[in-house]
Structure 1
Amino acid sequence: MKFRFLIILQFACVHCAKAQVNSDLESISFKIDSLLAYYQENEPGVAIGLVKENQLIFERYFGLANLDYEIPIHKNTSFHVASVSKQFTAFAILLLEEEGKLSLADDIRVYLPEMHEFENTITISHLLNHTSGLKDKYNLLRLSGWTLDDVITNEQVLEIIFNQETLNFQPNEKHMYSNANYALLAEIVARVSKMSFAEFTQQRIFEPLQMNDSKFVDQKGQVVKNKSLSYFRIDSIYVEDLFNNFSVGATNLNTTITDLSKWAINYQTKRIGSQAVFDKMHTLTPLNNGENYGYANGLFINTYRGFKRLEHSGQDASYQAYLATFPELNISVMFTNINGEINGARMVYDIMDICLEVYGNDKIAIKTIPNKLTHQEPITLTPDELKPYQGHYWDEGDNYSREIKFENDTLRLITSNGKTALVPVGEHSFELDIEEYVAVSFLEEKMIITLDDGYQIVSERYTPANYNATTLDEFTGRYYSPELNAYYSFSIIGNQLVAKHTRLGEFYLEAIKKDYFIGDKGSFLKVVFIRNTSNELTGFEVSSSRAKNVSFLKIE
């Protein structure tokens, strides 16, 4: 009788567990469908997957994969996942290291002798962690005259990286995301394994995991079954958003939600890759100053709502992708999007919140509340004590000017949004006269803005430029970069200096201070002209977001 009771109880428990699982999935399904209700099924769409306890427990396919033929997104639809590719590249490197075929401490020139010999060694580890200082391949391609509509081969990308003669910073001094790093890693995999990067990942990763619909696309026209296309909208019409860069390593993995789930499950099961490989993949390497920066071997490592998260997003053209794993909960969230009108980043966080509301209840989500800085008691300073702080201050990080003026016995911060009084709280310290805490201090020709969480913005005093058509004339002429094999001409339109490339058009430059200009387009964010000891112009250095101080020589 007792045995029969236990059997009945066991079946009852299983039934309750299944009922709970079904209830959880119904809740998730309802809420995700609510997110998608804002969009149309006859437009480019998304695919969503959820892995729990090493099973793909939820899938949602919405919208069209191809507008020309009205092909819906389905289980076998293949998506370009952009920078989500990087974790596969890092994994390939770690497999080779485990086999003793390379070391992360190796100088990359051992495998890539074409690279310039910089003053400090760049190691494979620096590439993996974006601490090499190498300039980003996309920024370099753009500066050299390529557009995103151009067909760009892997060989062309490698050539422009090999031609670099300067770095953004010394290796391991900073962390700056650069796609050049992962293009080089893929080439190292190819040279060490003596097969193409696409072949290596196919044999060593995709086939063992039965990721049958995954491949790295390394040439134009390569067949990808059930391939989706990306789109953006002009007025009310969708047009295809082309991505013609066929460099691998940093991008160009095509895969499905089902295959991504197999990869995510491998984080737990380790069907391929030893525990040591995964430990290394998830280990943060500090900078030279001891700071960590939250990136480890193809993955961002952080916390979200109190839970450890391994994540990476990606975007090329209007393709968007995201993969996040919460190892404590054994949950992974996968997302792909081919519609430039959909805010993929917002949708991803909504999806994660939905999942964590259901599966994160077994642990209290720890929300770290930082120690906020608070207002201090004001003091009185005389006009003579206040006036020395007047002036213009330049924020090099954000390319932004701030002005301090003395008006009506008060210092005021002047911005495009208006004027805000500075309340003295110390000899060199002030606070903005607003409800939120924003401190402003002055030290050795610098203005330091401190927010309530301690974050600081440093600006340096400068004298604004006062150029006209006559004084700008010395900057005109033709300039050449041997690193990029690119030419730019500079001329004056009105009272403004303008740079021009034959393929890219015109870049209007605004004078900030002596020999220092900022541009109106991403590849020309900052231009600083260089002079010799005789004060003659010899060239300029141009900076974009991930390519700093690219040199051009004045030739005419």
Structure 2
Amino acid sequence: MAQVITTKYLHNRKIFKITMNHWVAMVCFLIKKKVRTTFKFIAVILLVLYVGTTSAQNSDGQINIHHIANKIDSLLSNYSEKEPGVAIGLIKNNQLIYEKYFGLANLDYGIPIHKATSFHVASVSKQFTAFAILLLEDEGKLSLENDIRIYLPEMYKFEHKITISHLLNHTSGLKDKYNLLRLSGWTLDDVITNEQVLEIIFNQETLNFKPNEKHMYSNANYALLAEIVARISKMSFAEFTHKRIFEPLQMYDSKFVDQKGQVIKNKSLSYHKVDSIYVEDLFNNFSVGATNLNTTITDLSKWAINYDTKKVGSEVIFNKMQTLQHLNNGETYGYANGLFINTYKGFKRIEHSGQDASYQAYLATFPELNFSVIFTNTNGEINGAKMVYDIMDIYLEQYTTDETTKNPSVKKLTHQKPISKIPAELMLYEGHYWDEGDRYSREIKVENDTLRFITKNGNTALVPVGEHSFEMNIDNYVGISFVNNQMIITLDDGYRIYSEKYSPANYNATTLEEFTGRYYSSELNAYYSFYIKENKLVAKHTRLGDFKLKAIKNDYFIGNKGSFLKVVFVRNSFNDVIGFEVSSSRAKNVVFLKIK
């Protein structure tokens, strides 16, 4: 387990990084040797300086790095150094003040994670792609408001223009590349190249929504941005980022990987458990822009520090990367050209996370505190999201006093006081509700005299707060109201989800027969066959296997796998089934036509 705490002192204008072991060894040597009293005195002073520097406070009078280090050690105490692990970096006042390297980077050879270990950082890559685009804009080589077809003429000509800004901010309406690949028959064992990703995106003729009407995260956007950078710069995206970003910032251990088999020095592998045994979690995607940056804690610290120093990039670029964008209706959505912008415990936070295979990564900067946290993880059994929040909380506890702010487990106050309702009143709201926008079914049910919101993963109690109003009994505010057979869900940011009450469909083998047959999508070049098994409708793909479908309402079904979440059959004017539209989380209404 490697841990480095940075101490600096001025000597010939150099900054030295010395671990505790070095200090103690040096001091003990001077004290034990028969040297002059003056040198013994200096030795003691050196030890005091070390302790004072590492446990003392910084210029704001609060930081205690040893306290932080001990608490992070406590977080890792439940894990073994002989398993896949994590790397952590903390930056304060543009200095990497703390590094932690824990666990193994390669289980085959027992190679530990260390300072030079290279990590795949998944979607943390996106901010570099956005930065590359903004560098080109700063040089007058493109405009964010330009139609992307100027640079990508292969794109389908949609009714509404898609701009570079729409790509940057996930408001284009383009379907996610992973969802499309999965629906078309790709598996996690397949190699994915830039060319294949671009081909399937170029083949799309429909959007999830009109550009800039919504914000929906889509990896297709950033694959296209990388291609735009390559075409304008006349070099590969990997070459451009190396020349324009990594070299100037001396990020010598950073690269975008766009070739299968490409050598990555000190590469870490990711793992998860199968039957209590770790197996390598392969990542065969070599499409860049949305992902595929490999880098180190040290290099990411240089990037985070560049937010403040702006060694590479103009003030205009960094302002754009921190300015929230607006939808057509004027609303903001917490995203700004490759970065999420929000507040955490009262402080502005600029962040992005990422996950591919069992790799997890996170980079957050708190500009008001001049503090950043970097986290990488190669162990699929570690809850990386929880750990990184625990790390942030350890540092931020010195700045927060209010218990609700310091402790996320303390419940926020609800908007209204609870009231009493008898079970008979609650039963009026029981039933199934259909969200047409997301094509999602929700159930409300009374259990033990309590109205409950039912999901696949369990249920949540609804607390009455008004005549027809309830709140979920959870940490964050979620309001539920019932008006004229409609359920309205209001989230804590004011966003509303509308669902209509409906009666579930009741199909049998005979009535399901009209849905059977073979269907084809020209956008995906994929076939699915539908047949009946045990009085249930089943969709089958030759590579993906069976998807069991459950009827929700007439012509509406939900699937049991992620890529086949919702299926809606389409009829002609004679009421014949002529096709279906399938939706997954980030690819809505993909059209398949019946061919027999």
TM-score where L is the length of structure 1? 0.89
- State the match for 1:401 in structure 2: 442
- Distance in 2, matches of 1:514 and 1:50, equals 55
Distance 1:266 1:444, change over 3 A: same
Classify 1:472/1:96 alpha carbon distance in 2 versus 1 (closer, same or farther; 3 Å).
Answer: same
- Note the C-alpha offset of 1:456: 5.0
Higher alpha-carbon deviation: 175-184 or 21-30:
21-30
SS at match of 2:551: strand
Q: Decide whether the 8 Å contact of 1:65 with 1:77 is kept in 2.
A: yes
Match of 1:374 in 2: 416
Give the equivalent residue in structure 1 for 2:340.
Answer: 300
Distance 1:114-1:372 versus aligned 2 partners, 3 A rule:
same
CA displacement, residues 459-492 of structure 1 (integer Å, 9 cap, x when unaligned): 2121211110011001000000000000000000
Contact 2:472–2:480 (CA<8 Å) still a contact in 1?
no
Moved more, 456-465 or 224-233: 456-465
Rounded to whole Å, the distance in 2 between the matches of 1:323 and 1:117 is 36
In the TM superposition, what are the counterparts of 1:319-398 in structure 2 within 5 Å?
Answer: 319-358=359-398, 360=399, 372-375=414-417, 391-396=431-436, 397=438
Aligned mates of 1:309, 1:159 — CA distance in 2? 36
- 1:318–1:339: 8 Å Cα contact kept in structure 2? yes
Q: CA deviation at 1:438?
A: 8.0
Name 1:88's counterpart in structure 2: 128
Per-residue CA deviation, residues 320-365 of structure 1 (Å, 9 max, x unaligned), is: 000001111111100100000011001101111112234x379999
Structure 1 match to 2:512: 472
Matched, 1:110 2:150: yes
Distance (Å, rounded) in 2 between the aligned partners of 1:197 and 1:73: 28
Corresponding letter in the other structure for 1:278: F
1:318 aligns with 2:358: yes
Q: Check if 1:442 corresponds to 2:482.
A: yes
Which whole-Å CA distance do the structure 2 matches of 1:42 and 1:509 have between them?
43
Is 2:427–2:445's contact at 8 Å kept on the other side of the alignment?
no
Look up the equivalent residue of 1:282 and give its one-letter code.
Q
2:222 corresponds, among 163, 182, 206, to 182
Q: 2:309 aligns with which of 257, 261, 269?
A: 269
Alpha carbons 2:351, 2:364 under 8 Å: kept: yes
Q: Deviation at 1:21? A: 4.6
1:301-335 CA distance string (max 9 Å, x none): 01111111100000000000000011111111001
Flag the 1:525–1:196 CA change in 2: closer, same or farther, 3 A: same
Unaligned 5+ residue runs, structure 2? 1-45
Give, in whole Å, the separation in 2 of the partners of 1:84 and 1:130: 15
CA distance in structure 1 between the partners assigned to 2:67 and 2:53 by the alignment: 15
RMSD: 3.3
Q: Which of 240, 244, 269 does residue 200 from structure 1 map onto? A: 240
- Distance (Å, rounded) in 1 between the aligned partners of 2:278 and 2:326: 45
Q: Distance in 1 between matches of 2:137 and 2:226?
A: 14
Secondary structure at the residue paired with 1:471? helix
2:517 maps to amino acid: G
Q: Say if 2:519 and 2:593, in contact at 8 Å, map to a contact too.
A: yes
Counterpart of 2:508 in structure 1: which amino acid?
A: N
| CA gap 1:464/1:24 in 2 versus in 1, 3 angstroms | same
**Corresponding residue of 1:28:** 68
Letter in 2 for 1:401: R
For 1:76, the equivalent position in structure 2 comes to 116
Shift, 1:452, TM fit: 8.6
- Amino acid in structure 1 at the alignment position of 2:416: T
Partners of 2:163 and 2:240 in 1: CA distance = 22
Cα 1:135–1:439, aligned 2, differ >3 Å: closer, same or farther? closer
Q: CA deviation at 1:96?
A: 0.1
Q: Percent identity?
A: 72
- Residue 20 of structure 1: how far off its partner (Å): 1.2
Query: Which residue in the other structure is 1:459 paired with?
Result: 499
Is the CA contact 1:378–1:425 (under 8 Å) kept in the aligned structure 2? no
Letter in 1 for 2:300: L
Cα distance in 2 for residues equivalent to 1:330 and 1:270 = 14
Q: Which residue matches 2:89?
A: 49
Q: CA deviation at 1:236?
A: 2.2
Query: Structure 1: which amino acid aligns with 2:106?
Result: N
AA aligned opposite 2:315 = Q
Q: Pick from 515, 532, 549 the counterpart of residue 589 of structure 2.
A: 549
Report the equivalent of 2:160: 120
**Are the equivalent residues in 2 in contact too, given 1:306–1:365 (CA < 8 A)?**
no
Residue matched to 2:24: none
Residue of structure 2 equivalent to 1:253: 293
Given the superposition, is the C-alpha separation of residues 439 and 76 from structure 1 closer, same or farther in structure 2, using an over 3 Å criterion?
closer
Aligned counterparts of 1:282 and 1:42: Cα–Cα separation in 2: 40
Residue 241 of structure 1: CA displacement? Answer: 0.1
The alpha-carbon deviation at position 506 of structure 1 amounts to 0.2
- Number of the residue aligned with 1:4: none
- Do the aligned residues in 1 keep the contact of 2:96 with 2:301 (CA within 8 Å)? yes
Gaps of at least 5 residues in structure 1 are: 1-10
The code of the aligned residue for 2:114 comes to: H
Match status 1:59 vs 2:91: no
Kindly tell me the number of residue pairs found equivalent between the two proteins.
Answer: 539
Map of 1:121-140 to 2, 5 A cutoff? 121-140=161-180
Give the match for residue 281 of structure 2.
Answer: 241
1:282 equivalent in alignment to 2:318: no
Q: 1:353 to 1:366 in 2, by over 3 A?
A: closer
* Aligned pairs (5 A) from 1:205-220: 205-220=245-260
Q: Deviations over 1:487-519 (max 9, x none)?
A: 000000011000000000000000011100000
Whole-Å separation in 2 of the counterparts to 1:554 and 1:333: 52
Aligned residue for 1:296, secondary structure, equals coil
Distance 1:339 1:349 in 2: 17
Instruction: Letter of the 1:489 partner, please give it.
Output: S
Secondary structure of the 1:155 match is helix
Contact 1:231-1:240 within 8 A present in 2 as well = yes
Report the alpha carbon displacement of residue 372 of structure 1 after superposing the two structures with TM.
3.2
